[in-house]
Structure formats: structure tokens, C-alpha cells
Amino acid sequence: MSIQEQRMGNTTRLFIAAPLPEELKQYLSEQASLYQDEAIRPIPLENLHLTLFFIGNVPEEQLSSIKQVTQHIASQSAAFDLRLEAIEPGPKQRSPRLVWARFESSALFEQLSQSLTQALSSAPPDTRKAIPHITLARFRKDRPAPRNLPVVEPEQSVTLQVREIAVWHSELASPHPRYRILESYPLGHNPS
């Protein structure tokens, strides 16, 4: 057991996200390779996902309840498609912290994200609109932030079909955390 695990007791670090198809991971990884700089740390292919709600550290005994709530919300939610708008530095253009694949806004994504946040968090609802995105790289904190990075718009339509969500475990590690899916749940209503 690591020192960090001893300090935190029996907790587990969790988030809710949609897994990605392998073809999309490959495409996004190829596009992100345009951002070559010693201050940019690419995210490993196996870690790519579409976050819906980051839970954080919770007591392990809450895991069963979190899975039940997530399964219920998934069964009540419609599947949806997201269209890729751009791969770019973000979330703020003037002071970016990462490179992300930003998708068009979606009422169904927003509704699902809000439902999970309200059900799994004691914090007041966030009034800011969630931006559907996939983090492709992070800027290193020990290096000056790169400047004048390109915005890459897809040459053809790229769509992410969101048909399931999952409870993910996050294990802090260096140089990247390790993620694994604990349980997946299909979304209840597929588009016709």
C-alpha cells in the first residue's frame, strides 16, 4: 500500500465518462501529434474518454450506491451523437492548460452531465454550460506554456456516438494516472 493510500484510508477516486471507440482514439491521437512541444504531455491512448462528471475521492463503501445511481440515470437517458468542432488549446484561448477535442454543444450531453452531477454531488448545481470535450494533452507546469498553437478543424465530419457511460477508477501515478472502467451501462433510449 502506498503512503498516499494509507493517508486517504479506504477511498477510491472515481469519475463518470463515456468510453471511446478505438477508431476515434486513433484519429484523435494522430491529430494531437501536431502539437509537438517539450511543454506538452500527450495523454495515453488508453486514457482517452468523454468526461460527464468527476466525482473524486469517495469512501469505498459508497461505490455500490454510485454504480446504482449511474445505472439508473443511464437507463433514463437518451443516447446521442456529438460532432467534433475542433482540436485546439483550451479551455481558455488566452491561457490554455491543455489540448482538447471540442465537440458541438448538445442538450442531451448537458442533461446527462447535469443529472449525474446533481445525483452524485452535494455541491450546488453549476450554472456554467458543460463543454463536451476529450482531453488529448496537458501542458507541463514546470515549462513555459507554448504559444501560437494551431486550431485544427476536421476535414470531414467526425462524430462520437455516445451509447453507454461507465464508472471509472482513477489511480494517481506518474507520469499519467491509470484509468479503468469498473462498470458500464447502456443509455436507455437510442436515437431513431
Query: Considering Cα of 20, then 39, then 128, then 53, what sign does the dihedral take?
Result: positive
Q: Is the pLDDT of residue 7 over 70?
A: no
Residue 125: is its pLDDT beyond 80? no
Mean pLDDT of 112-125: 84
| Calpha distance 36→102 (Å, rounded) | 19
CATH superfamily of 3-170: Cyclic phosphodiesterase (3.90.1140.10)
Task: Please state, in angstroms and rounded to a whole number, the distance separating the CA atoms of residues 75 and 188.
Answer: 4
Distance between alpha carbon 82 and the CA centroid of its chain, in Å?
A: 14
Cell numbers representing residue 105 in the block: 454543444
pTM of the model: 0.87
Instruction: Please write the tens of the pLDDT for every residue from 34-89.
Output: 888 888 899 999 999 999 999 999 999 999 999 999 999 999 999 999 999 999 99
- DSSP H/E element including 78: none
Residue 92 confidence (pLDDT) above 90: no
**32: CB partners within 8 A, 6+ apart:** 42, 43, 87, 99, 136, 137
CB 72 within 8 A of CB 174: no
For residue 123, CA distances in Å to 22, 52, 60, 97, 127 come to: 34, 16, 20, 25, 12
Kindly state the average pLDDT of the residues 114-142. 84
- What pLDDT, on a 0 to 100 scale, did the predictor assign at position 1? 37
**pLDDT attached to residue 83:** 97
Q: For residue 6, is pLDDT > 50?
A: no
